[in-house]
Amino acid sequence: MRTGHEIREAIARKQTSALEVVEQALESAGRLETELHAYIRLLPERARIKAREIDAAVTRGDKLGPLAGVPIAVKDIFTVAGEIATAGSKILENFRSPYSATVVEKLERAGAVIIGKTNMDEFAMGSSCENSAFFPTRNPWDVTRVPGGSSGGSAATVGAGTVPIGLGTDTGGSIREPASFCNIVGVKPTYGRVSRFGMIAFASSLDQAGPMTADVRDAAQTLEVIAGFDEFDSTSVDVPVSDYTAALRDDLSGVRVGIVAEFEAEIGASDPALAALYKAAYADLERLGATLVEVHLPHARYGLATYYLIAPAECSSNLARYDGARYGRRVQNGGDVFEMFERTRAAGFGDEVKRRIILGTYALSAGYYDAYYVRAQKIRTLIKRDFDTSFAACDVIACPAVSCAPFELGQKMQDPVSMYLMDYFTIPMSLAGIPALSVPAGYVTGLPVGLQIVAPAFEEARMLGIAHAYEAATGHARRREPPLAGAAR
């Protein structure tokens, strides 16, 4: 059993029990942890209690939820009532949340069993998981390499087969890039499709939660569970949630797939091997019946700069609350309350977080606001318009999810800009608020990479349907096992 839907079926048919599945997942997680470091914290007791509840429901013959008994891993950026939520930061290392995130509640109501909280770049700032305040997570395909980030822990544990479903967040690529690096499916939904309540904020206008799963069907099923309006999130949208699993398809006849001319030029110049892999992926789509059309995103090249004004500006304000007064870590060596704030934040935040807070504070400060923040928001409009224009000519866009294969730990840590460039192909969609996913697309020198499929706002069903056809026809992830695989497959 590899996927969530297979596990649920087996539990429903009493071929196995939820407790048995959970014990296997906990065993796998524990065994791999010394090499993978995917979890900040396992929650074995909570998981066993929930698993027994599912088993009792099976025994009673109750109607089972769509994820009944499926073990899942949750990025440590989501709150779970009564449990610690660190967001990968020392400043929250002891913060125990009195409430659960809306998505966590929805997943548990659907029967999912949370086995642990996964590692991440601190406050979701990073593309390698090396910015975790605790330890870096490794890639199950090569433990000397990064799993991607910021949702690296969820990607690694799903990629290793410990659990079929992980929950991640994506602000500029933090679901899609690690999904690509760990050979799994990762979905960033439309902004507002999924509630942000209980998801520790990085950049509010960009953050979005999404599934990271073994296959497209699990992604569709999980998204169906977590999507929808939430009265606790004013920016969640009350558009009806489609039946995503019903939308899964096996051929692409009549589908127009946009290929972004600017992206092809970029990747062709930077990594010819990867460019060739993507060319092959587009050919696969064509073979399935799709028509390829060239589209243009002329402002996408400004995405990185735009993002590195908007996201730090919002984070500088969102992270102001971590001051040592009400919760979390405090550093106090005499002095007044403001000195306590300054020392707490100096000791509690890592390099990347400090860097972005400083940058964002600067971009919002007197005299610079219009030149930086407002200008970035205007360019955001231009990027969004590029997508609107493109989607007049195509149904979805197919493009690279990453600009290179998984890289070695430490390789980009001294040069933040080279790390920022990792999100070159994922940031424009985040700025436009549109849905995008990464689906396994093959291997470069033995390491996995993903194909990005992008749809107009709220067209997740279309996007997942097309990804499913591609996955079914190519089966890249099914073809190989990662060297570090830990589950009963």
Partner 1 sequence: MSTKVANAAATDYEPVIGLEVHVELKTNSKMFCGCRNEFGAEPNSLVCPICLGFPGTLPVINRKAVEYLCKTGLALGCSIAAHSKFDRKNYFYPDMPKNYQISQYDMPLTTGGSVTLPSGKRVRLNRIHLEEDTGKNVHAGGRMAGAEYTLIDYNRAGVPLMEIVTEPDLSSPDEAEAYLVQLKAVLSALGVSDVKMHEGSLRCDANVSIRPAGSSALGTKAEVKNMNSFRSVVSALEYEIARQKASLAAGERIVQETRNWDEARKLTYSTRSKEQAHDYRYFPDPDLVPLSLEPATLERWRAELPELPLAKRGRFMESYGLSDYDATILSADIPTAVFFEAVVAASGEPKAAANWMLNDVPRALEKHGLTIESTRMKPGQLAELIKLVKSGTISGKAAKEICEAMVADGEDPQAVIAQRGLAQVSDEAAIAKLVDEALAANPDSIASYKAGKTKALEFVVGQVMKASRGKANVEIVRAALIKRLE
Partner 2 sequence: MRGQYMRMAEVPIDIDHVAKLARIELTEEEAARFSSQFSRLFEFIDELAQLDVSAIPATAQVIPRINVLRADEVRPSIGTDAALENAPDREGPYFKTPRILE
- Interface ranges with partner 1 (CB under 8 A): 78-79, 85, 87, 92, 95, 97-99, 101, 196-201, 203-205, 231-235, 313-314, 316-317, 320-323, 325-327, 337-338, 341, 361, 364-366, 369, 373
- Choose, from 17, 28, 174, 242, the residue flagged as catalytic: 174
**What residue 296 binds from partner 1, partner 2, none (CB within 5 to 8 A, per partner kind)?**
none
Closer by beta carbon to partner 1, 264 or else 342: 342
- Annotated catalytic residue within 150, 154, 390, 430: 150
Write down the H helix ranges in 123-260.
Answer: 152-159, 176-181, 216-226
Going edge to edge, which strands form the sheet with 113-118?
39-42, 113-118, 71-75, 165-170, 208-213, 185-188, 436-444, 447-454, 396-400, 256-260, 291-295
Interaction of residue 362 with partner 2, rule CB under 8 A: yes
Which residues on adjacent β-strands are paired with residue 260? 295
Structure tokens at 234: 């004013």
371: contact with partner 2 by CB under 8 A: yes
Q: Does 141 bind partner 2 (CB under 8 A)?
A: no
Q: Is 96 in the site for partner 2 (CB under 8 A)?
A: yes
Contact in structure between 188 and 430 (CB atoms under 8 Å):
yes
Nearest residue (CB) to partner 2, 69 versus 350: 350
Q: Give the β-pairing of 71-75 and 113-118.
A: parallel
Angle, vertex CA 199, rays to CA 93 and CA 106, nearest 5: 120
Residue 64 to residues 23, 24, 49, 59, 220, Cα–Cα distance (Å): 20, 21, 16, 11, 18
422 near partner 2, judged by CB under 8 A: no
Interaction residues for partner 2, span 147-206 (CB under 8 A) = 190-192, 205
Interface segment toward partner 2; rule CB under 8 A; list 50-58, 181-189, 358-366, 445-453: 358-366
Residue 101's binding partner out of partner 1, partner 2, none, with CB under 5 to 8 Å set by partner kind? partner 1
* Residue 190, CA distances (Å) to 131, 229, 429, 432 in order: 26, 12, 9, 9
Minimum distance from CB of 378 to partner 1 (Å)?
14
- Catalytic site residue 150? yes
Residue 325 Cβ, how far from partner 1 at the closest point, in Å? Answer: 5
Query: Smaller CB distance to partner 2: residue 142 or 423?
Result: 423
Radius of gyration of the chain (CA): 21
d(CA 21, CA 43): 14
| Least distance to partner 2, CB of residue 90, Å | 13
With CB under 5 to 8 Å by kind, the binding choice for 128 among partner 1, partner 2, none is: none
Residues 270 and 245: beta-carbon distance below 8 Å: no
Please state, as a whole number, how many other Cβ atoms lie within 10 Å of the Cβ of residue 243: 11
- Binding partner of residue 157 among partner 2, partner 1, none, CB under 5 to 8 Å per kind? none
DSSP type of residue 92: G
Place of tokens 């064509």: 286
Which of the listed partners (partner 1, partner 2, none) does 412 bind, with a CB threshold of 5 to 8 Å by partner kind? none
Residues 429-448 within binding reach of partner 2 (CB under 8 A): 431-433
Q: From start to end of 127-199, where are the E strands?
A: 165-170, 185-188
Q: How far is the CB of 256 from partner 2 (least distance, A)?
A: 24
The least CB distance from residue 174 to partner 1, in Å, is 16
The site string for partner 2 over 37-76 (x = CB under 8 A, - otherwise) reads ----------------------------------------
Of 210, 42, 201, 212, nearest in space to 123 by CA: 201
Work out what residue 79 binds among partner 2, partner 1, none; the CB cut-off runs from 5 to 8 Å by kind: partner 1
- How long, in residues, is the chain? 489
Rounded distance between C-alpha atoms, residue 39 and residue 31, angstroms: 12
> Which of these ranges, 257-265, 302-310, 388-396, 475-483, lies near partner 2 under the rule CB under 8 A?
302-310
Compute the least distance from the CB of residue 365 to partner 2, in Å. Answer: 6
Q: What is the DSSP pairing of strand 208-213 with strand 185-188?
A: antiparallel
Supply the minimum distance, in Å, between the C-beta of residue 322 and partner 1: 8
Residue whose entry in the numeric block shows the structure tokens 């009963």: 488
Of 283, 337, 393, 488, which lies in the binding site for partner 2, with binding defined by CB under 8 A?
Answer: 337
Specify the residue, 279 or 355, whose C-beta has the smaller distance to partner 2.
355
Contacts of 224 (CB under 8 A, 6+ apart): 66, 241, 243, 244, 245
- Residue with smaller CB distance to partner 2, 190 or 390: 190
Report, as residue numbers or ranges, the catalytic residues: 75, 150, 174
